[in-house]
Amino acid sequence: MNVHDLIGKSGKGIPLSRPELIGLLSLAPDSPETYAVMAEANRVSKELTGNKAEVHAQLALNLAPCPADCRFCSFARVNGVFREETRITPEQATAYAKQFEKDGANAVYVMTTARYPFGLFLEISREIRRNLKPETVLIANVGDQSLSNARKIKDAGYTGVYHALRLREGVDSGLSPQKRKESILNFQEAGLLVGTCVEPIGPEHTNEELADLILFTASINPAYSGAARRIPIPGTEISGRGAVTELRMAQIVAVTRLGMPRTVLGNCTHEPCTLGGIAGANLYWAEAGANPRDVREKTEEGRGETVQSCRTIFSECGWDVWRGRSRYFANPI
């Protein structure tokens, strides 16, 4: 494999193949070749967006011990971090969303744990929608859904969803990989755009697994793809597996960009960091309320970034930030 040939292929707008992705993922993260891959991914992301990144912002309607038991999530019942459910009121949810809108988030996300009552989610969503400007993009981050529920999400005023087939889905989570995929199809069938990501990456994941998931995300024609590392939740079994470095995550963010077709404008990383931003990431998230990577009930008092702090990190990488509606959630399906 010649890295410069692959960079040349990317320069012609051709997404890389599975063996090529595996080859790039196998390079040492601190090698000159990996830095060249990051530079190419950065170039592509900037070319596609006119050097304007996006900041999306997520609020959570609840936190609860979740029976889906995704081992990497602080809400997983098995992790025992949260023993009681707490829900925010429609007024609190609306206040968070309005603050994000005022801060200039390019899209506002509403998250729930998997078993949050769907009717209540719709009710609060409609309330949030009524209180936001019509042009504000609203995105749902909820559990697996039928086509009929996906249509209700669309009718409640959502433009899209965040939904991912996670690494080792069904092994490190209690969810069915097949259902995750079916839900993605249901969302798209209902007219919702789907943002996704290669996540949550840990040191145990092989280059082959990463390449397969990169290609899966490319296959669904997402609003954006990207890569995010697993944040170890203290005291949990999975935290013993450790974490990949920011540099390794940046490498995977860059390789993910080179595996996507050019119709996919967005390339996310989480948590926001300058190494990701110079390796082709053009989407970060601000967060408020509960956060599956945090043990604080209000992540704004913990790990969560604000819209402004995300902008500052982008600025440190030489990125400008898009003002207005998300362009990633404007692609035709």
196 in Cβ contact with 208 (< 8 Å): no
Choices 67-75, 94-102, 245-253, 261-269; region in contact with ligand SF4 by CB under 6 A: 67-75
CA distance linking residue 24 with residue 294, whole number of Å = 31
Kindly identify the residues of this chain, within the stretch 146-175, that bind ligand SF4 according to CB under 6 A.
Answer: 173
Nearest to 195 by CA among 278, 272, 121, 265: 265
DSSP class per residue in 84-130: S-EE--HHHHHHHHHHHHHHT-SEEEEE--TTS-HHHHHHHHHHHHH
Rounded Cα gap, residues 100 and 98, in angstroms? 5
Q: From the list 58, 99, 113, 186, which residue makes contact with ligand SF4 (rule: CB under 6 A)?
A: 113
Residues in the chain: 333
Given a contact cutoff of 8 angstroms between Cβ atoms, the answer to whether 233 and 253 are in contact is: no
Residue 121 as a binder of ligand SF4 (CB under 6 A): the answer is no
Closest CA to 40 of 13, 62, 19: 13
Nearer Cβ to ligand SF4 (68/95):
68
Please state at what angle helix 3-11 crosses helix 18-25, rounded to 10 degrees: 130
The answer to whether 40 touches 70, Cβ cutoff 8 Å, is no
> Which residues on adjacent β-strands are paired with residue 286?
57
* 109 contributes a contact to ligand SF4 by CB under 6 A: no
Question: Residue 184 has which token pair?
Answer: 């993605």
Among 7, 21, 22, 73, which residue interacts with ligand SF4 (rule: CB under 6 A)?
73
Using DSSP's 3-state secondary structure scheme, residue 279 falls into coil
Kindly indicate which of the ranges 64-72, 196-204, 283-291, 300-308 contains the residues binding ligand SF4, using the contact rule CB under 6 A. Answer: 64-72
Contact pick of 36, 68, 95, 147 for ligand SF4 (by CB under 6 A): 68
Torsion-angle region of 271 (φ positive above 0: left; ψ -120 to 50: alpha; else: beta): beta
Q: If binding is defined by CB under 6 A, does position 95 make contact with ligand SF4?
A: no
Residue 109 buriedness (CB in 10 A; 0-12 / 13-18 / 19+): buried
Q: Supply the minimum distance, in Å, between the C-beta of residue 193 and ligand SF4.
A: 20
- The size of the interface with ligand SF4 (CB under 6 A), counted in residues, is 12
Cβ nearer to ligand SF4, comparing 230 with 327:
230
Q: Is 266 or 292 the residue whose CB approaches ligand SF4 more closely?
A: 292
Per-residue tokens: 196 = 């996704």
Peptide bond into 305 cis (omega under 30): no
Stretch that binds ligand SF4, among 24-32, 63-71, 151-159, 275-283 (CB under 6 A): 63-71
Figure out which of the listed residues 70, 194, 268, 321 binds ligand SF4, where binding follows CB under 6 A.
70
Q: Is 81 in the site for ligand SF4 (CB under 6 A)?
A: no
Which listed range, 68-76, 126-134, 233-241, 249-257, lies at the site for ligand SF4 (CB under 6 A)? Answer: 68-76
Per-residue string for binding with ligand SF4, 127-146, x by CB under 6 A? ----------------x---
Residue placing its CB nearer to ligand SF4 in the complex, 69 or 85: 69
- The one-letter amino acid at 24: L
Q: Which stretch binds ligand SF4 (CB under 6 A): 61-69, 223-231, 242-250, 324-332?
A: 61-69
User: Interaction with ligand SF4 in 237-296: which residues (CB under 6 A)?
Assistant: 292
In the complex, least distance from residue 82 CB atom to ligand SF4, rounded to whole angstroms: 10
Q: Give the footprint of ligand SF4 on this chain (CB under 6 A).
A: 66, 68-70, 73, 75-76, 113-114, 143, 173, 292
